Amino acid sequence: MSGAFAHGLVIGKFYPPHSGHHFLIRAAADACRRVTVVVMASSQESVPLADRVAWIRERWSAEPHVAVVGIADDLPVDYDSEDAWAGHVALMREAVAAGPPAPPVDAAFSSEPYGAELARRFGATPVLLDTGRDTFAVSGTKVRADPVAYWDELEPPVRGGLARRVVVLGAESTGTTTLARDLAAALRGRGGPHARTRWVPEYGRELTVAKLAVARGLAAPDGPPPTVHDLDWTDADFTAVGRCQNEAEDRAARDGGPVLVCDTDTLATTVWQERYTGRATGPVHRLAAAVPPRALYLLTSHEDVAFADDGLRDGEHLRPWMTGRFREVLAASGTPWRELRGDRAARLAAALAEVDTLLARGWGLADPLG
């Protein structure tokens, strides 16, 4: 079937891209020497055009004959209107022309009823696939209404973009890691898409372990071994923490379930930098501002949790100040948050209740322009 057509066209909102869309692109890629995928998004839709284009490009990056282009389309959809058809097709032609040089479109691939008319307007052969959704029982409408139910129909970059990121943060020895692990395990126990649930460890702790090991390796063999109190923390350290934390979070989101549990994030890093150096620097603030939206913050209070010195902690006396500082930062963040108290079981129950409320509200993706 390869090379049956010179130039195949696939158009759609891809809001968001799913397995049915990729089936359509695969069919075009197998049958055409060149393929142009045109992503058309309106300004009222929740997922930006650039994200959709990037997600599809990543999936087809190994296929050089598949070009993915995007164009804004705020024209009304009316399949009975000649003016509407003319406007949409003009935008499609503009998008195709913006892609790599290619011969005229001679095949239009679609799984929608309008596919035949679309092909006619390009003077192309209509190739209609899976119009009854018998091969892939999924649609953008279904995914937007219930992403959890169709999580397995999404590629890793889409999962990463849609994952609801829940961040656990707090002062030293307040149970943040324990809660993050418990919450992720409880969600995994629900099975289905939630069986993929990941939690993202705190990179700052990893760096502390590494810095302490290096300090001990460099210490005089006849002297006392360095402790965490002897470590120096620089601005460069906190920039590295923020960068590595963001990277680990993004990797886990792509490979995880509908909820990603994060043991701290770079917003928390700004507070930790302030705690050790007296202020948070521009690079760390920028890393914090660049993260995908947080769905929920869970603050572990220092109350009800005894301080446990594991050899990597040095701030028992600062726990009340840090809890208060986190309250201030979270209140200014614009993201929903809850402070958790009580024993381990009580905190987990409260965290699960918050996550369930979050999931019950859904993703709130706007309807496409109709």
Residue 131 confidence (pLDDT) above 90: no
**DSSP assignment string, 248-260:** HHHHHHHHS-SEE
The model's pTM: 0.92
Q: How far apart are CA 210 and CA 203, in angstroms?
A: 11
Phi, psi of 317 (to 5 degrees): -70, -15
HEC string of 129-166?
CCCCCCCCCCCHHHHHHCHHHHHHHCCHHHHHHHCEEE
Report d(CA 56, CA 22) in Å as an integer. 8
Least confident of 16-25, 160-169, 217-226, 358-367: 217-226
Q: What confidence tier does 370 reach under pLDDT thresholds 50, 70, 90?
A: confident
The average pLDDT across 117-135 equals 94
Q: Which residues have CB under 8 Å from 350's CB, separation 6+?
A: 338, 340, 342
Count of CA atoms in the C-beta half-sphere (13 A) of 33:
10
pLDDT interval class at 289 (50, 70, 90): very high
Q: Once rounded to an integer, what is the mean pLDDT over residues 274-278?
A: 94
Report residue 300: phi and psi, to 5°.
-85, 115
* Buried/exposed 300-323: b ≥16 CB within 10 Å, e otherwise: bbbeebeeeeeeebbbeeebeebb
Domain with CATH 3.40.50.300 in the chain: 163-361
Band of pLDDT at residue 81, cut at 50, 70 and 90: very high
CA distances from 319 to 19, 68, 89, 264, 303 (A): 48, 51, 61, 16, 9
Positions of CATH 3.40.50.620 in the chain: 5-144
Band (pLDDT 50/70/90 cuts) for residue 304 is confident
Q: Specify the higher pLDDT residue, 312 or 151.
A: 151
CATH architecture of 163-361: 3-Layer(aba) Sandwich (3.40)
Query: With bands split at pLDDT 50, 70 and 90, how would you rate the model's confidence at 306?
Result: confident
Contacts of 12 (CB under 8 A, 6+ apart): 21, 24, 38, 39, 40, 112
Using the predicted structure, report yes or no on whether residue 98 has a pLDDT greater than 70. Answer: yes
pLDDT at residue 334, rounded to an integer: 95
Q: Per the structure block, which two tokens stand in for 63?
A: 């296929």
State the average pLDDT over residues 231-256: 96
Q: For all residues of the chain together, what is the average pLDDT?
A: 95
Say which residues have a Cβ less than 8 Å from residue 32's Cβ, sequence separation at least 6: 3, 4, 5, 6, 7, 8, 65, 107
Out of 45-54, 107-116, 177-186, 315-324, pick the least confident.
315-324
Res 220: pLDDT: 86
- Average pLDDT (299-313) is 81
- Residue 178 near residue 227 (C-beta atoms within 8 A): no
Q: What are the tens digits of pLDDT across the range 344-353? A: 999 999 999 9
Per-residue pLDDT tens over the stretch 169-213: 999 989 999 999 999 999 999 999 999 999 999 999 999 999 999
Contact 71, 91 (CB under 8 A): yes
Of 163-167, 196-200, 303-307, 360-364, least confident by mean pLDDT is 303-307
Asked if residues 129 and 111 have their Cβ atoms less than 8 Å apart, the reply is: yes
C-beta of residue 322 within 8 angstroms of C-beta of residue 171? yes
Right CATH for 5-144 from 3.40.50.720, 3.30.70.100, 2.60.40.10, 3.40.50.620: 3.40.50.620
